[in-house]
């Protein structure tokens, strides 16, 4: 890959971004190239259509939600730092980073990763996954031939198993407790040079 340093200087606030997200310079440059490539019309920012144009994404059942997660709080434009911050959630957990108890958690801490995913479920941002929201998610992730009743039963059972305080919704804590999965995998920018 060409001159990382010169490209790095073109990226505004690259240093802060690296500090905040923990990406290496090469990663930031790579992401910047990608950002620019996605921004077809050279607007300088991304909008949902740019994500929609990614073909592989259309083969993902929850693609719309994921796109929505990038454009949180109703904005329609996505600038580079926000783009990088969201992708930073998926970096591997840094085991070696010194833990400063007073500083906010790193962006790719396990808790933040789970929070990001929680937000995909919880569309109305009330901090709980209601039965309705769960139904919607299940609907997208299950094959067409699952009937409505089956869906509802699955949703009911799911909430039953996970809900500890019996409020018929899954809060973030309950969600976290039920996630044994350790997000040890991360996305890898597979540039090969």
Partner 1 sequence: MAPYSQLSFLLTVLLIFGALCVTSKVQIQSSSERQSASSNTGSTGESTSNSSASITTVPIVTWKWHHVETPYLVALWILVCWLCKLMAQLNSKLKSFFPESALLIISGFILGGIVWGADKAQTFKLVPRNFFYFLLPQIILDTGYFMPNKLFFSNLGAILVHAVIGTCWNAAAVGISLWGCYLGGAMGNLQIGLLQFLLFGSLLAAVDPVAVIAVFEEVHVNEVLFIWVFGESLLNDGVTVVLYNVFDAFVSLGGEKINAGEIIKGIVSFFVVAFGGSLIGVVFAILISLLTKYTGKVQIIEAGFIFVLGYLSYLTAEMLSLSAILSVTFCGVCCQKYVNANMDEKSVTAVRYAMKVFANGSETMIFVFLGVTAIDTDIWVWNTGFILLTLLFVLVYRFMGVFFLTWILNRYRLVPIELIDQIVMSFGGLRGAVAYGLAASLDETRIKEKNLMITTTLIVVYFTVILQGLTMKPLVKWLKVKRVSPTELKLIEKVNNRAFEHILAAMEDISGRIGDNWWTRGWKRFEDTYITWFLMKPEARKNRDYLFSIFHKLNLEDAINYVTEAEKRGSLAFLNQTDGTIVNFEKKLRFSGVMPDIMSELDFGNNNVQPTSDTVPSVSLNIHEHEMKRMNEDFNAHHLLQQHLYRSRKNHRHKYSRSNFSINQSEDEVQEIFQRTMRSRLESFKSAKMGVTPAKKITKHPKKDPNHKMSNGKTTDKSKKHPYGDEDFEFSEADSAYSGDGPRRFKLTLSVAGVENPAFIVAPSQGAQRYLPWSPRNLHRLAPLRISDRSTDSFLMADAPATEESSEESPQQPSQRDGTHM
Q: Between 9 and 150, whose beta carbon lies closer to partner 1?
A: 150
Minimal distance, residue 165 CB to partner 1, in Å: 15
Q: Between 11 and 183, whose beta carbon lies closer to partner 1?
A: 183
Minimal distance, residue 19 CB to partner 1, in Å: 19
| 22 φ/ψ sector (left φ>0, alpha ψ -120 to 50, else beta) | left
DSSP 152: H
DSSP 189: -
Closest CA relative to residue 131, chosen from 114, 153, 98, 103:
153
Minimal distance, residue 8 CB to partner 1, in Å: 14
Q: Between 12 and 146, whose beta carbon lies closer to partner 1?
A: 146
DSSP 112: H
Residue 181 to residue 139: CA distance in whole angstroms: 22
């Amino acid at each position: 890959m060409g001159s990382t340093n010169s490209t790095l200087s073109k990226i505004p606030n690259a240093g802060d971004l690296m500090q905040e997200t923990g990406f290496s310079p090469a990663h930031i440059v790579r992401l910047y190239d990608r950002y620019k490539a996605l921004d077809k019309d050279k607007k300088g920012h991304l909008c949902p259509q740019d994500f929609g144009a990614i073909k592989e994404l259309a083969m993902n059942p929850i693609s719309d939600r994921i796109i929505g997660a990038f454009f949180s709080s109703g904005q329609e434009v996505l600038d580079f730092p926000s783009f990088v911050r969201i992708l930073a959630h998926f970096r591997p957990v840094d085991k070696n980073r010194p833990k400063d108890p007073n500083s906010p958690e790193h962006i790719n801490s396990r808790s933040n990763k789970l929070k990001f995913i929680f937000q995909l479920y919880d569309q109305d941002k009330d901090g709980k996954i209601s039965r309705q929201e769960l139904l919607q998610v299940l609907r997208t992730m299950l094959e067409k031939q699952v009937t409505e009743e089956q869906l509802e039963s699955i949703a009911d059972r799911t909430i039953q198993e996970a809900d500890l305080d019996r409020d018929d919704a899954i809060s973030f804590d309950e969600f976290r407790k039920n996630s044994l999965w350790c997000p040890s995998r991360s996305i890898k920018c597979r540039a090969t040079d």
